[in-house]
A and B are shown apart, each in its own frame.
Chain A
Amino acid sequence: MGYNEYMAARETLGLIGQPVITYIFIISLFLGILSIIYLIKRENKYFDYLLKCLYVSTGLYLAGFLILAWFHMQIYNTVLIEYPAQMRQMIPVESDRFIIPLWIENEKLYFWAMCASVFALTVKRRKDIMSFLGVILSIFSVIVYFWSNPFNDPLPIVHSEIMSWFAALPRSDMTIFQVAGTLYGRITYYYNSTYMWTHPPLLFIAYASLVITFAACVFMLIKKEKIYDEIAYKYSKIGYLLLTTGMLIGYPWAIEAWKDSAWWWDPKISGSIMMWVLYSAYLHSRIYVSQDKMWKTTAYLGIICFASLIFTYLLTYIVPGIHSVVQP
């Protein structure tokens, strides 16, 4: 097992996964169009079609996720970091293999979209919210297909790290120490960390739940019916619980992994605090939602909260910082 097997797995992922994501993209386009038509015409036949599209696209998302899981297992099986003996004496090596989470790099938006699709199926009895979600999910799928496609150039950063390892292996100079040292940090404090396997997925599942809250809050403004507030609240409870737990789990991780780095008041952390306090504000205002003006205030807050969620997600790509992929 080694380089050839890893490259073969990577190629297979593209061969199997690319058609899956293409079908997701095409079906999601139909989903979006049918959702808009239903929202305009309110004819049940369109809703039946859009529901079928959502079932198929969610099934495909889940199938694609299984394919990604298979690829991650292949990385585990094929890439072995053989730390030099002297290095093993100096650092406490816990693992010499990559256990790559399924929510990093170009897989994270896919994971979020998949979770949102699953959540959307749980509100299928509310046709108006469901169809609005159909539009949102189709936008998600378009973004995933063109800008965050996990089957097109899979895990580019992980790939470059693995390639640097395979490039260093045949060399007899100090390069192998440098590469192994870098990979030790990445494997121990990032990929294989328990925090990495809990902090991001909790947040992404929370985000998926809060998409429903956003949709329900939009309908709170359109129609003053109690059911929309109840749906918004139901999903905000799930989202808030996971968001709070997920964010808090990030704190000891930051202390452990970034003890020598500048992470406090990093833009992503500031954004997360902003998002959390806004959702806290939403839950507070919601207590008196039946009071005059509070209905609209709560609905607007729910929408502002979602805007802050999107903004916080995008901060990784637009503002430099320790969480970011952009640098000054």
Chain B
Amino acid sequence: MKPKNYDYYLIIITTLILFGIGAVSLYGITYYNYLAVNADWTKTAQYTRYIDEMNSYIYPFLVLLLISLGLCIPKRLFEQDMMIKTSAFILGITVILTIYSGLETGLGFILLAITAVQAIVLILTIIKSRIIRFEKEGYVVRLGSSLLHFGVVILIFNFVNFQDSPYHLLIFWSGMVLITSGNIFSFYPEKVSSLFPRE
């Protein structure tokens, strides 16, 4: 049996956050069903209020998910103590921005910060840098994990801050390629490795 460590508790927390997002979605289904008393209700202001309400419920969980991803990723760059301080610093600025400039600005900041960290992690993983630390062994698995996390953050960033941008779909497809390739690399590292000749 593996000893319980920091990563174990982080996984538990991430699982609980994902469960929380599931619970919000379930609430959304129930609430939508309650509101849909006539076929045209989505053309009324009530639908806009419903969307805003659902977004306001999901955003805190997204922040928590991003923080857990953020805690998950910088651990590969920093020691645990440094990582907690960095995460607390990012979270502190996010909270301040949320209070003074609104939830979307706060979320935008944390997304920008974590996207930057993820991009650095991905580059360091690709060049096989020794300063990066991973729980998992194997280059392809590490690359897959980095691609997957980077893709998830890119997609959330895109949904939250680039909905009306002309590059929205382009960013979406980029995120999708990252997630799909990340999944394939993480799930089937041996098969992916066998496709490339060894040095």
Contact = CB atoms under 8 A, between A and B. Distances in A.
Interface of A: 237, 240-241, 244-245, 248-249, 251-252, 255, 261-262, 264-267, 270-271, 273-274, 277-278, 280-281, 284-285, 287-288, 290-292, 301, 308, 315, 319-321, 327-328
B142 to A, nearest CB: 15
A270 B25 contact: yes
Nearest to B8: A288
Interface string B11-38: 1101100110110011011001100111
Given A251-B172, A255-B169, A288-B8, A273 B21 contact: yes
Contacts of A327: 39
B18 A270 contact: no
A29 to B, nearest CB: 34
B180 interface: yes
B43 A281 contact: no
The range of chain B's interface size is: 35 or more
The 7 A-B residue pairs with the shortest CB-CB distance in the complex, in nearest-first order:
A262-B42, A274-B25, A281-B18, A270-B28, A237-B187, A270-B25, A277-B18
B179 A320 contact: no
A291 B8 contact: yes
A319 B31 CA distance: 11
B51 interface: yes
B47 interface: yes
Nearest to A298: B15
Nearest to B54: A265
Interface string B165-195: 0000100110010011001100110000000
B14 A284 contact: yes
8 contacts: A245-B183, A252-B169, A265-B28, A266-B32, A273-B25, A285-B12, A290-B1, A328-B41
Nearest to B32: A267
B50 interface: yes
Given A274-B22, A288-B2, A288-B11, A319 B180 contact: no
B175 to A, nearest CB: 8
A320 B33 contact: yes
A328 B50 contact: no
A321 B36 CA distance: 8
Given A274-B22, A274-B29, 17 more contacts: A240-B187, A248-B179, A249-B176, A251-B172, A265-B54, A267-B29, A273-B25, A277-B19, A278-B19, A281-B14, A285-B12, A291-B1, A291-B8, A315-B29, A321-B32, A321-B36, A328-B38
Contacts of B22: 273-274, 277-278, 281, 308
A160 B41 CA distance: 27
Given A288-B8, A320-B33, A328-B38, A265 B51 contact: yes
B102 to A, nearest CB: 20
Nearest to B61: A277
A301 B19 CA distance: 10
Given A262-B43, A277-B21, A308-B22, A285 B169 contact: no
B85 interface: no
Nearest to A278: B22
A264 B28 CA distance: 11
Contacts of A280: 18
Contacts of A264: 51
Contacts of B28: 265, 267, 270
A96 B179 CA distance: 36
* Central interface residue in A249, A270, A287, A290, by most chain B CB within 10 Å: A270
B4 interface: yes
Nearest to A265: B54
A270 B1 contact: no
B33 A267 contact: yes
A291 B173 CA distance: 38
Given A264-B51, A277-B19, A285 B11 contact: yes
B36 A320 contact: yes
Contact of B179 (A244, A261, A292, A328): A244
B33 A244 contact: no
A249 B19 CA distance: 24
